[in-house]
Structure 1
């Protein structure tokens, strides 16, 4: 029997500096297609200026883009602290695309509108007061229009929420009537490297699909736990070395001998440098592992819930993956906070040591905020309050 799928077009709008966010969206959309899309019979088609437009002439550049973009079912916009380049009518191309979509929604009830604002802080050199003002003004205006938007600040939790938002929105669209002409035949999988029979089994057997996602999540969670344990041990060793370095500096200062002061300062600077470099290496690794684990867990949960398998795969089952990790992360956070308190007491006139101090304090602030977000997300996965 020929399998038909319903294409759901999604216009992806953003200023040009949101490449990473756009890539995340496309990745999540593909996961939704592989999970709910396969089972419910739809495929999200992501439409964007980089894939669906060509050079052309018009009254102004954005008008050329507007003319070439097709009608869509969902309008999605990502906006950071850079609002974008003004058009003839609005403060940015993204705003103009939103205004068009919003007017269409008022008239026809479509497209669905999903607005996301990145709260990732820009570097000091990238701050533009006018751009920030335009962004804040736009946020207020869309709120006054009755548009509910979503703020995000961290990739793992953002992927988690975005997957949920897209799955729910696509399911709601699937409940609406559609003409037969709008459905298209699913293309055959002709990839020589594809596991066609196994993929067919996963598509048709929801239990196996959930088990595969849980297994994948467990593998990434084990990797994350291992990295977390290694980093915790390293932080504790650093704390001991830092205590030793502090005593050396105090003794050198008390002796008044310049050579001892230089040696103590050199030793301290060396361990501080090694520590901040280790943090810069390990934190991204932790982020990548937990992100992949939580995405797989979410995909498994969604498949289970959409196929009535909650009793077989209850959320409580996930506690076996999350409880120990949550406790470990809270312990790591406590150690980092204690270290921060110690380092903050160091004077700011110690040359290179002072520079290393500032780097570590900034990394600690980023790290503790990250740990807080991950612990909160783990609690959400478990269904904890």
Structure 2
């Protein structure tokens, strides 16, 4: 088995152009193409936006022609300081991520190197295991001793979580949901302050009316648009974390209701209900602020093309957040009603 992971597989040389040298050195003698991207996409090649993109499409062509290469794409969604973020490069990464999904590439996202390492070891194990099943003659000498031990169910078996696992999910995901909401709220407070500062600068220019008033105003407006795009990127992952965490919370509560069989005490159910009420309080405390900010962004005048695009970007993220929050509030209240029914039934016993 050979694995292609980019720069580690090449060495300095000359050719028609830099990527051509890399392509010739890589050749087609690899079984797995492993692509890892974070915030940078790379430099343009003769025909593609980056060497990574060119290498991906070469591997995809081999996969489509003869299914001789297994493509594994990973995207790090860990946050980075805004002052070190190249927005153009980051946008190219996200566009590429969307394109390969449309081509049928099932990719994974991760946060941090430790999570990536765990995911990769698990995925490589499964790839090699599948090869062993489908092509025993060519893979019997592969050493799996360094790969993780994984306990799996049979193909048709459904693995159910138990009471303690559901309770653990509740505790963990409740903390993650609140953390995500706090991150969004903090980011929204930050962007509000930034926009206020830009508005003050525009007011000063309007009052002073310098000769280059239009150029100065345009520069401030476009800087504001850049900051708004940074905000949109800043809240993108917390929004996904919030939605995913809440869905798991609701799923865990439904699971508890199914498996409890009166093992869970009345006091524990009351604690779970109180935790939901606390989560709703956290939602309500930030919801009004988010609605007001959404309205203010939507009402910004269309002064330049950059601010128009930034408005659309921010409004789309906030609308996704507000819509998901509305659904979460409905689900939380439905779960509270179910818990109340459970408590009522327990009182009758």
Shorter-normalised TM-score: what interval? 0.3 to 0.5
Structure number with higher relative contact order (C-alpha < 8 Å, ≥ 6 residues apart): 1
- Normalising by structure 2, we get a TM-score of 0.47
With the length of structure 1 as denominator, give the TM-score of the two structures.
0.43
